[in-house]
Amino acid sequence: MTSFAEAYPEAQLWASPGLADRRPDIRFAGTLDDTPHPDWAPVRDQLVTQGNLFFSEVVFYHGGSKTLMVADLVENITDETIRSCLGRHVAKAMQIFGRPLPSPEFRMYTFDADAAGARLDEIGAWDFHRILMAHGAVITEDAHGVLRDVRDFLTAEVAVRSA
């Protein structure tokens, strides 16, 4: 983020909840919440994930393109997105290869299955046809089914870990 801010000094960086406290070295324009900023509210909606101890992710929905935009909530690592043999082995060991799932870090810090699941149900109510993510191939088929599978996997994993 710092190199991006240096390359684009006129750009505004916005933080997800808690990020500004963890990164005081970065100047943020503000902290995002469930209410879109007036500059992008006419074209984009957003919700903050729930049930995570360490970081909350802000998920965006762009109605014009019917696109859900995420960072670590969904990763879709495939042979096309990771070329190195070592990278594939690591992704397989972390259970994120060949199946869209939350990042290992997102999964590790999620502690409240009910809160996480309820928020993912809200996100799933948006009319999206694709999922664009920070890590992996864009999902263009059965995007709602993928998000439902992500929700089910995450909440089941958290429930087992909490038992």
| String of DSSP letters for 28-78 | -SEE--SSPPTTTTTTEEEEE--SBSS--PEEEEETTTTEEEESSS-BBB-
The answer for residues whose C-beta is within 8 angstroms of residue 74's C-beta and 6 or more apart is 100, 101, 102, 131, 133, 136, 139, 146, 147, 150
Residue 14: name the closest of 26, 45, 131 by CA: 26
The residue type of 67 is T
Provide the pLDDT for residue 78.
Answer: 87
pTM of the model: 0.91
95: left (phi over 0), alpha (psi -120 to 50) or beta: left
Full pLDDT tens readout for the chain, 163 residues: 889 889 999 999 999 999 999 999 999 999 999 999 999 999 999 999 999 988 789 999 999 999 999 999 999 998 888 888 888 888 888 888 889 999 999 999 999 999 999 999 999 999 999 999 999 999 999 999 999 999 999 999 999 987 7
Provide the pLDDT for residue 47.
Answer: 98
The answer for residues whose C-beta is within 8 angstroms of residue 76's C-beta and 6 or more apart is 100, 131, 133, 135, 136, 137, 138, 139
Half-sphere exposure of 162 (CA within 13 A, CB side): 14
Provide the pLDDT for residue 13.
Answer: 95
- Cα dihedral sign for 92, 94, 99, 100? negative
